[in-house]
Structure 1
Amino acid sequence: MADLFDQTPAPDAAHSAPRPLADRLRPKRLSEVIGQEHILGPEGPLGVMLASGSLSSVIFWGPPGVGKTTIARLLADESDLTFIQISAIFTGVPELRKVFEAAKMRRANGQGTLLFVDEIHRFNKAQQDGFLPHMEDGTILLVGATTENPSFELNAALLSRAQVLVLQRLDLAHLELLAQRAEQELSRALPLTGPAREALLEMADGDGRALLNLIEQVMAWKVAGPLDPDALATRLMKRAVKYDKSGDEHYNLISALHKSVRGSDPDAALYWFARMLEGGEDPRYLARRITRMAVEDIGLADPQAQTICLHAWETYERLGSPEGELALAQALIYLSLAPKSNAGYKAYKNARAAARKTGSEPPPKHILNAPTSLMKEQGYGDGYAYDHDAEDGFSGQNYFPDGMKHGVYYLPVERGYERELKKRVDYFAKLRARRQGG
Structure 2
Amino acid sequence: MADLFADELPPSRPEPVREDAPLADRLRPANLGEVIGQDHLTGPEGAIGRMVAAGRLSSMILWGPPGTGKTTIARLLADSVGMRFESVSAVFSGVADLKKAFAAADKAADAGQRTLLFVDEIHRFNRAQQDGFLPFVERGTVTLVGATTENPSFALNAALLSRAQVLILQRLDREALGQLLTRAEELEGPLPLTGPARDALVASADGDGRFLLNQAETLYNARLDAPLDPAALGAFLQRRVAVYDKDREGHYNLISALHKAVRGSDVQASLYYLARMLTAGEEPRFLARRLVRMAVEDIGMADPQALVQCMAAKDAYEFLGSPEGELALVQSCIYLATAPKSNAAYKAMKASFRNAKETGSLMPPQNILNAPTKLMKEIGYGVGYTYDHNAEEGFSGDDYWPEEMDAQTYYEPVDRGFEREVKKRLDYWDKLRRDRKAV
| Counterpart in the other structure of 1:60 | 62
Residue 133 of structure 1 deviates from its aligned partner by 1.1
Summarize the alignment of residues 23-422 of structure 1 with structure 2, pairs less than 5 Å apart.
23-186=25-188, 188-238=189-239, 296-298=300-302, 327-328=334-335, 330-331=337-338, 335=341, 338-341=342-345, 400=393, 405-406=396-397, 413-414=411-412, 416-417=414-415
The answer (yes or no) to whether the contact 1:175–1:206 under 8 Å persists in 2 is: yes
- Which residue does 2:378 correspond to in 1? none
Q: How has the CA–CA distance of structure 1 residues 424 and 57 changed in structure 2, closer, same or farther, with 3 Å as cutoff?
A: closer
- Cα contact 1:4–1:99 (8 A) shared by 2: no
1:297 Cα deviation after fit: 3.4
Identity of matched residues, %: 44
Separation in 2 of the partners of 1:423 and 1:10?
69
Task: Check whether the contact 1:413–1:422 (CA below 8 A) recurs between aligned residues.
Answer: no
Q: Deviations over 1:254-277 (max 9, x none)?
A: xx99xx89xx8999xx79977799
Q: Hey, what's the Cα distance between the residues in 1 that align with 2:94 and 2:143?
A: 19
User: Which position in structure 2 is the counterpart of 1:387?
Assistant: none
Q: Deviations over 1:8-61 (max 9, x none)?
A: 8876xx64x721001100000100000000001111001111112221111000
Relative to the length of structure 1, the TM-score reads: 0.64
Deviations 1:85-128 (A, max 9, x none): 11011111111111111111111001111000000011111111
Is the 8 Å Cα contact of residues 297 and 345 (structure 2) preserved in structure 1?
no
Letter in 2 for 1:27: P
How many Å separate the matches in 2 of 1:322 and 1:178?
32
Query: CA 1:400 to 1:74, structure 2 compared with 1: closer, same or farther past 3 Å?
Result: same
- Structure 1 segments, 4+ long, off by >6 Å, are 4-11, 264-267, 270-281, 286-295, 320-326, 407-412, 418-423
Do the aligned partners of residues 236 and 399 (structure 1) sit closer, same or farther apart at CA in structure 2, a change above 3 Å counting?
A: same
Matched residues in 1 for 2:193 and 2:424: separation? 62
Of structures 1 and 2, the larger Rg is shown by 1
1:432 deviates by 3.3
Q: Secondary structure at the match of 2:62?
A: strand
| Aligned residue number for residue 369 of structure 1 | none
**Which ranges in structure 1 are unaligned for 5 or more consecutive residues?**
242-255, 310-319, 345-356, 362-397
Q: Which whole-Å CA distance do the structure 2 matches of 1:140 and 1:322 have between them?
A: 43
Give the counterpart letter for 1:340 in structure 2.
Answer: A
In 1: Cα distance, 2:430 partner to 2:127 partner: 59
Shift of 1:185: 0.9
Task: Indicate the residue corresponding to 1:3 in structure 2.
Answer: 4
Q: Which region of structure 1 is more displaced relative to structure 2, 288-297 or 153-162? A: 288-297
Q: 1:432 aligns with which of 424, 427, 435?
A: 435
Q: Distance in 2 between matches of 1:279 and 1:169?
A: 12
What SS does the aligned partner of 1:220 have? helix
**Distance in 1, Cα, partners of 2:411 & 2:116:** 58
- The aligned amino acid for 1:141 is T
Kindly report the root-mean-square deviation, in angstroms, between the aligned alpha carbons of the 2 structures. 4.9
Q: In the comparison of the two structures, how many residue pairs are matched? A: 343
When residues 358 and 76 of structure 1 are mapped into structure 2, their CA distance, relative to the original with a 3 A threshold, is same
Unmatched tracts of structure 2, length 5 or more: 243-254, 310-326, 349-386, 401-407
Amino acid at match of 1:116: F
User: Residue by residue, what CA displacement relative to the aligned partner does 1:339-396 show, whole Å, maximum 9, x if unpaired?
Assistant: 414899xxxxxxxxxxxx666x6xxxxxxxxxxxxxxxxxxxxxxxxxxxxxxxxxxx
What's the TM-score once normalised by structure 2's chain length? 0.64
* Distance change (3 Å), C-alpha of 1:265 and 1:182: farther
Q: 1:223 deviation in Å? A: 2.7
Q: Is the 8 A contact 1:400 1:406 kept in 2?
A: no
**Contact 1:298-1:342 within 8 A present in 2 as well:** no
Work out whether residues 114 and 140 of structure 1, in 8 Å CA contact, stay in contact via their aligned partners in 2.
Answer: yes
Deviation at 1:405, TM superposition (A): 3.2
Task: Give the structure 1 partner of residue 248 of structure 2.
Answer: none
Contact between 1:299 and 1:340, CA under 8 Å: does it hold in 2? no
* CA 239–159 in structure 1, closer or farther in 2 if over 3 Å, else same: farther
Deviations 1:147-185 (A, max 9, x none): 000000111111111100000110111011000100111
How far off its partner does 1:330 sit? 3.1
Query: Is the alpha carbon distance of 1:113 and 1:61 closer, same or farther for their aligned partners in structure 2, counting shifts above 3 Å?
Result: same
